[in-house]
Amino acid sequence: MEAVLLRLHGKLGHVNTPRTAGPAGHQADEWLRCAAQSGNITGIPLGSQLRADLSHAACTPYRDPFKFWASYLDVLPDETVLAGIDRHLELNRERLAYFGQVISSIEAGEHPMIQARAEQLEPAALERLKATRAMIFRELAAQARFEMDSAERIRQFWRELQRD
């Protein structure tokens, strides 16, 4: 089943896979489990075995491991705090760059998810597809920027905490 999830992650353009740690991977896993209950993810039919394997999974709310970790800033060593914040910033810088590349390739019609459908769609429908997919990746980019801003706010809070 993990191989199927990895393939679905690739087809859907997710950055993380179930094998990698991080909030995006966890969120994508939750989304896949919930979507699998309906038996179809954006036109990709799911086999009965995959539906059976995932049907027991409850759709739990998203939990942010970075924010949970940051809730312990008051007891963590200084070097751990700084390294954790720096890692979170770097991860989201990488995501932001990746999403920018994906948006550019979608808009240019070069992304595999666009090329796979290009011949089947009328020009207007193809433009709508490109616009919709690019919009979603813009939202993901906005989320990465939010995470970077949040990490900087957390860093500032921690610095102020050190002064007390």
- DSSP string covering 86-141: HHHHHHHHHHHHHHHHHHHHHHTT-SHHHHHHHTTS-HHHHHHHHHHHHHHHHHHH
Give me the domain span that covers residue 111. Answer: 65-163
Question: Quick one: which of 61, 58, 81, 68 has its CA closest to 158?
Answer: 81
Nearby residues of 59 by Cβ (< 8 Å), 6 or more positions away: 30, 33, 34, 37
- Statement to judge: residues 44 and 84 lie in one domain: no
Residue 33 counted as domain residue: yes
Residue 34 has a pLDDT of 57
Residue 11 near residue 20 (C-beta atoms within 8 A): no
Residue 136 counted as domain residue: yes
Q: Which helix (H) or strand (E) holds 149?
A: helix 123-163
Prediction pTM value: 0.64
Residue 51 has a pLDDT of 54
Question: Quick one: which of 133, 145, 147 has its CA closest to 13?
Answer: 133
Residue 11 has a pLDDT of 39
- Statement to judge: residues 44 and 90 lie in one domain: no
Residue 30 has a pLDDT of 54
Query: Helices 123-163 and 78-107 sit at what angle, rounded to 10 degrees?
Result: 170
- Statement to judge: residues 101 and 20 lie in one domain: no
Residue 6 has a pLDDT of 40
What is the domain count for the chain?
A: 2
Average pLDDT per 10 consecutive residues for the chain, totaling 164 residues: 40 38 48 53 52 58 89 95 97 98 97 95 97 98 98 97 86
Residue 100 counted as domain residue: yes
Last residue within a domain, chosen from 28, 54, 80: 54
Calpha distance 107→114 (Å, rounded):
9
Residue 52 has a pLDDT of 54
- Statement to judge: residues 156 and 96 lie in one domain: yes
